[in-house]
């Protein structure tokens, strides 16, 4: 069973320093157009920014006990277009992917009209691992804070709402750790 075990970190990159560093790197990078269809279902158009190769992906996530089961499969462009037409909301991001100490890290720059409005990192851990590693040196200076396992504060679906993303960013900037307050204001 494919279990997702990821932890997320809010980042602060107001001057685009981290984004510029990652653009100059050899890290894998994709532009992602992601649409949410219904609870747990989403479709993505992944464009590899080095090769131009495009993948269309259907993903289903569902909580089972203390785990989140994540099933992904490639789909045809036509199927993506059909599902995209019935999406409830969408998000656009540029993702950089790299490996540190055997763990895969993603840094996402969420975009609105081509401009970054929120930056986050996530690390995917082995299924039963619960010890969250310190962020890699590359991103450490930009880390505002982290969320726990299954915490939805930094979920892309919630962060698709720009006003929510601004509130989350402000709460992390001010040192706020009261995610319940942030979540209660979510749409």
Distance CA 12, CA 119 (A): 7
Q: In the numeric block, which tokens belong to residue 9?
A: 């970190």
Positive or negative: CA dihedral 144, 179, 158, 131? positive
Give, in degrees to the nearest 5, the angle at Cα 21 between 19 and 24.
Answer: 110
The CA-based diameter of the chain, rounded to the nearest angstrom, is: 45
Q: In the numeric block, which tokens belong to residue 171?
A: 């709460």
pLDDT at residue 178, rounded to an integer: 52
pLDDT at residue 184, rounded to an integer: 43
pLDDT at residue 176, rounded to an integer: 59
Task: Write the CATH number for 51.
Answer: 2.40.320
pLDDT by residue for the chain (187 residues), tens digit each? 487 888 999 999 999 999 999 999 999 999 999 999 988 899 999 999 999 999 999 999 988 888 889 999 999 999 999 999 999 999 999 999 999 999 999 999 999 999 999 999 999 888 888 888 999 999 999 999 999 888 899 999 999 999 999 999 999 999 855 544 444 444 3
Tell me how many domains the chain contains.
1
DSSP strand E in 39-186: where? 41-48, 54-64, 67-74, 89-100, 103-112, 115-124, 143-146
Distance CA 123, CA 104 (A): 6
User: In this structure, what are the phi and psi dihedrals at residue 186, rounded to the nearest 5 degrees?
Assistant: -70, 155
Distance CA 91, CA 110 (A): 7
- Find the domain containing 162 and state its range: 3-184
């Amino acid at each position: 069973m494919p279990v997702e075990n990821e932890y997320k970190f809010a980042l602060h990159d107001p001057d685009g320093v981290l984004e510029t560093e990652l653009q100059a790197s050899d890290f894998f990078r994709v532009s992602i157009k992601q649409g949410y269809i219904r609870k747990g279902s989403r479709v993505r158009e992944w464009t590899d920014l080095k090769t131009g190769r495009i993948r269309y992906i259907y993903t289903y996530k569902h909580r089972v006990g203390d785990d989140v089961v994540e099933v992904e499969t490639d789909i045809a462009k036509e199927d993506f277009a059909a599902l995209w037409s019935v999406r409830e909301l969408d998000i656009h991001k540029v993702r950089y992917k790299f490996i540190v100490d055997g763990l895969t890290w993603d840094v996402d720059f969420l975009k609105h009209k081509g401009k970054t409005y929120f930056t986050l990192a996530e690390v995917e851990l082995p299924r039963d691992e619960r010890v969250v590693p310190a962020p890699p040196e590359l991103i450490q200076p930009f880390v505002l804070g982290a969320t726990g396992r299954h915490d939805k504060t930094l979920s892309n679906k919630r962060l698709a709402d720009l006003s929510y993303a601004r509130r989350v960013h402000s709460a992390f900037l001010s040192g706020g750790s009261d995610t319940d307050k942030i979540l209660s204001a979510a749409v």
